[in-house]
Amino acid sequence: MTQKSAEAGPAKAAKAATTAKAEAPASVAGYRQPTGEETLSIVNLNDLEAEAAKVLPKGGFAFISSGADNQVTLRDNLAAFERIQLRPHYLVGKPAPETKVTLFGQELTLPVITAPMGAHGLAHASAELGTARGTAVAGTLMTVSTAANKTLEDVASASTGPKWFQLYLQEDQGKSRELIQRAEKAGYSAIVFTIDAFAPGSSDEANRLGFSFPPSLPFANTGTATFKPSLTWEDVDFIKETTDLPLILKGVLSPDVAEKAIKRGVNGIQVSNHGGRQLDGVQAAIDALPAVAGAVKGRVPVIMDGGVRRGTDVFKAIALGANAVALGRPVLYGLALGGAKGVESVYGQLQAELVRTMTIAGTANIAEISRKYVL
Ligand code: FNR
């Protein structure tokens, strides 16, 4: 795990970014992919966005960074974390904090995993292979998107780290079944069914720039990015009937959906608004979490994603009922700036911040983080 000293300021982070650029980005038929492989000196994850903008083609950066429409939900995912106040417990004599957790039987170094994201090739020449390596070295789990630029088999072999497969259901049921079976065979340990997206995210900025996916970076699992245009609970039944792997429903924002899902045999709930990339105007993910976790009542693990940028954000999400959080854009920025090592650096920073937060708040391990640590 890479830890950096306090004197490593933005200038150093900027230097790493410049170096990545100087190392002749690979030009994949006109799309200039960064190729740099280096440990990053990160002051905080928020800084990474501006650094990534310097090394990524404008269209690719817009696709990754933007949200839908007016980006209200994108902004609120971050702002909502800032509205939550912590309640530390002092003079409690705790040992140095331990951040390990076990999720679906897999031990992770910290309660943060890589969220499913399509098209990592937009960020770096190593694409999902780099993300898989960096995530595994950090000691945590990667969710691999149906819309990956590398095949799910190649990503599975890129690292020995635990992986889940995120499913965009295909209109042709046979094709969906095939994807699930391929994931089982390649050793994925869970299926994440995303219920809130019917097309790749569309943003005004990407549209203004006339961004489209470079044909040289195909969707390796399916050929083109395809989605079933309408989803129902029968689709959940279909996945349950097709596989014995744990099924996690991603895109849950309300307690009634969580309740129905558990009744239907779903094994995990991922509270998410897709990083503000789909329906603009929905609630911030962290604001949706308490009611969903309240309905779940510990029956299945709850994962939350959207706007996690700080160790304090991880702490707040756990305190409000999440078993783990998933990290989106900062992982792709780390990948863009430093390849697999950049991804590892992102996790190193978050881990260090989480340890510092737990130390000051007075919690010795993740299980101790509870409602009593937030106002
Ligand atoms: C995503 N997300 C996403 N989700 C999913 O289920 N399947 C996918 O293929 C994608 N693709 C995707 C691409 C890009 C570029 C981004 C940024 C996001 C959503 C992702 O899993 C997650 O919900 C958010 O990214 C979390 O928010 P933050 O951490 O980016 O704020």
**Following DSSP, what letter does each residue of 287-307 receive, concatenated?**
HHHHHHHHHHTTSS-EEEESS
167 CA to centre of ligand 1 in angstroms: 13
Which residue in 89, 120, 124, 274 is the catalytic one? 274
The pTM of the full predicted model, rounded to 2 decimals, is 0.94
Reduced to 3 states, what is the DSSP secondary structure of residue 150?
coil
Which one is predicted more confidently, 67 or 6?
67
- pLDDT tens figures, 361-375: 999 999 999 999 999
- Across all residues in the chain, what is the average pLDDT? 93
pLDDT at 201: 85
Indicate the burial class of 190 (C-beta count within 10 angstroms; 0-12, 13-18, 19 or more). Answer: buried
β pairing state of 163-167 and 191-194: parallel
DSSP of 300-363:
S-EEEESS--SHHHHHHHHHTT-SEEEE-HHHHHHHHHHHHHHHHHHHHHHHHHHHHHHHHHT-
What is the DSSP code (8-state) at residue 43? S
Q: Which of 194, 277, 329 to mutate to test the pocket of ligand 1 (most atoms within 8 A of CB)?
A: 277
pLDDT of 22 strictly over 50: no
pLDDT at 92: 97
pLDDT of 16 strictly over 60: no
120 CA to centre of ligand 1 in angstroms: 11
CATH number (3.20.20.370, 3.40.50.800, 3.10.180.10, 3.20.20.70) of 34-373 reads 3.20.20.70
The pLDDT confidence band at residue 24, using thresholds 50, 70 and 90, is low
Helix residue ranges per DSSP H, the chain: 10-22, 48-55, 58-65, 72-83, 127-137, 152-158, 173-186, 204-208, 233-242, 255-263, 285-296, 311-319, 329-361
pLDDT at 9: 38
116 CA to centre of ligand 1 in angstroms: 6
Residues in the chain: 375
- Please tell me the residue having the least CA distance from ligand 1 atom 24: 275
- Give me the sign of the Cα torsion angle 133, 134, 137, 141: negative
- pLDDT tens figures, 326-352: 999 999 999 999 999 999 999 999 999
**Distance between CA 231 and CA 42 in Å, rounded?**
41
Respond yes or no: is residue 274 known to be catalytic: yes
